[in-house]
Structure formats: structure tokens, C-alpha cells
Structure 1
Amino acid sequence: MVQAKPELKARARELRQAGKTYDEIVAELGVAKSSVSLWVRDLPAPKPSVARARMMAEARWGPYRHERDLARERTVAQAAAELGRLSPRDLFVVGVALYWAEGTKSKSYRFSESVTFVNSDPDMIKVYLAWLGLLEVAPARLRFSVMIHESADVSAAERFWADLVGREVADFGKTTLKRHNPKTVRKNVGAAYRGCLVVRVLQGADLYRRIEGWWSGIVCGVREPETGDRVQDPSRVD
């Protein structure tokens, strides 16, 4: 055993220089941890690998993130329950605000009275289409198309949006491809990236004018609440 120790020491130093921990060296050589400590104490401690650093970070912060995620899910679920099912008037007002935030609008430098809504959020599209249904806009007046980066899975995106709105891909207008710029670091990549859906309403000038008027009515209808009207929880406003 005495003759073997120089070889073990040399091997222990090789392993330490390769980034192994004391426990890993002990497990491989089958020697006491005190011996390993003595043999390699003059060598710098290895920097943790990326995988090890992630494992250590997960061990430390994982429980905290888990509790945070649970708390977030509880809050979201509670808030959703507070809102409940929308009345037709609720949906009407939501739809007007949604369109005025996300839809195309006529500008002083570009007059246009078209009703076009573009969004990448499937839930936004669902709410918008429900609103158009409330307004009795006939499905035959709707035209759909996709806007997406050319580097994405265009066919999969077209199928996704077609399924969402209950149409065939063949019924869609020509997809608009955005030119890919390799110098641009985009976050909207991967299988979840499906571009944007464009929803146009044919013969929409009259509808656009009404939307503009409805939005103006919302703005004029907003008043600063008096002291007695203020509440901490907006969900309890009558």
C-alpha cells in the first residue's frame, strides 16, 4: 500500500487539475478524503462547470421558484374567478378597447377606414373574433392571412392559425414573409413562434367609423372617481 501511494497521489493531482471535486476523487481512487486534501492542497480549487453551477443554483433557488410559481398560479386563478363570465356589454366594451389598442387606425398622414386587426396572441384573436360575432359581422366578410419571419416553420404556422379560426389554409390570403436579419437577436423563435394573424373585415368603413365613435364614447364616459367611489379591488367595482 505504501508503494501505491505515490501513484495515487499523482492520479489525485491529475483529477484535481481536471476539475474534479474532493468527493469525486475519493470515489474514484478509494482513498480517505484527508489524504486527497493533503495531496492536492497546493492546487487551486476548480471552477464549477456550467452544469454543476446550474445544479447548485437550482438546489438553492428551486424551492423558492416553486413557491413563487404556486403563488402566481393561485393569484391568477383567483382573479379569473372574480371576473366570471362576460356579459354582452362587457365583451362589447372590451372589444372596442382591444381594437383601438391593437387594430389599424386612420392617421392624419394616412387616411384609412379599414378594419384590420393583427396579433400574435391566440387568445387575443379569440376575443376579437367573439367581439365581431357580437357585432354580427358575417364570417363571409372576414379575410385571414399570416405575417411571419421567413426563417420560421411557415407551413406549421399557417395550419395553426387556420385551425384556430376554423378555416382551411387554402382559404387564407398570401402569407407575408419578413426578411430574416442574422444580425438581429430575436426572442420569438422556436416551435412556439407562429408569427401574427391578420384579420380584415371587408367593406368595413362603416364599422370603423362606429368603432372610432365607441372609443370616443368610452373616453368621454370616463370620470375621475370621487373619494367615496375609490376601491382597492377593481374586481368589486359595480
Structure 2
Amino acid sequence: MRTLSAAYNRAREDIGNFSERELFISGLFLYWAEGTKCYDTSTALANTDPVMLRFFVSWLLFLGVPKQKIRARLHLYKDMDEQQELQYWSKQLGLPVTSFRRSYIK
């Protein structure tokens, strides 16, 4: 895990801060690659990478989506602790637990 963390830190140093244009384009490409395209009134992204999902939340905020309108849903296996996962993802994404819809349990 330290190697991955070191790689993220190195990339952050090499790349620096995104301009607004770069942030906008990066979010578009992320949505194009990972987003759902079946809803007319909502936007969704499915992934398990906390860094990617944090970026997506940041991108939505950048676009002017109010934080209180952002919703998330966890897809969990039946042997996972739902409350523990909710706490983890709430912290990772910077969203209150109340922003999470009912979890989908496989």
C-alpha cells in the first residue's frame, strides 16, 4: 500500500494543480469511461477506487452541483458490514451518511 501511496504523491507533485479546463475535461473523460448513460435526469459512476470517486465528487461540485444533491449507493456482498462500509465511504467521499441511498446487497 505504501508503494501506491508513494505513486499517488509522486504523480501529484509531477502534475501539480489542474486548471479549470483540465479539471472539466478530466471529469468528462472519467464520466465517458466509467459513468452510466441510461438516465436523462441523473449522472452516476460505478467504481471501487476511493481516489477516483473523490475526484468525481469534486468534479460534480466544480460543475455547481450542490453537495446536498449528491447521492451514493453501495453495492455490497451479504457478508460485508453495511454500517462499517457506510462510515468508510462517507469519510472517503466527504459525504454525510444521509447522502447514501439504501445499499444494494448481492
Q: With structure 1 as the length reference, what TM-score do the two structures score?
A: 0.38
CA contact (8 A) 2:27 2:56 kept: yes
Unpaired segments of 5 or more residues in structure 2?
none
SS in 2 for 1:117: coil
Distance 1:86 1:156, change over 3 A: same
SS in 2 for 1:151: coil
> Normalized per residue, which structure has more strand?
1
SS in 2 for 1:156: helix
Aligned counterpart for 2:26 among listed residues 85, 94, 99:
94
Aligned counterpart for 1:168 among listed residues 82, 86, 96:
96
| 1:54-83 deviation per Cα after TM superposition (whole angstroms, max 9, x unaligned) | xxxxxxxxxxxxxxx7xxx58x72x44221
| 1:185-226 deviation per Cα after TM superposition (whole angstroms, max 9, x unaligned) | xxxxxxxxxxxxxxxxxxxxxxxxxxxxxxxxxxxxxxxxxx
Percent identity of paired positions between Structure 1 and Structure 2 = 31
Corresponding residue number in structure 2 for 1:234: none
Q: Distance in 2 between matches of 1:155 and 1:169?
A: 10
Give the Å deviation of 1:96: 0.2
**Pairwise CA RMSD of aligned residues?**
2.1
Segments of 4+ moved more than 6 angstroms: none
Residues matched between the structures, number: 100
User: Are 1:149 and 2:77 matched, yes or no?
Assistant: yes
Unpaired segments of 5 or more residues in structure 1?
1-68, 107-111, 179-238
Determine which structure has greater relative contact order: mean sequence separation of CA pairs < 8 Å that are 6+ residues apart, divided by chain length. Answer: 2
Q: Distance in 2 between matches of 1:129 and 1:170?
A: 15
Give the Å deviation of 1:167: 3.6
Amino acid at match of 1:162: S
Larger radius of gyration: 1
SS in 2 for 1:161: helix
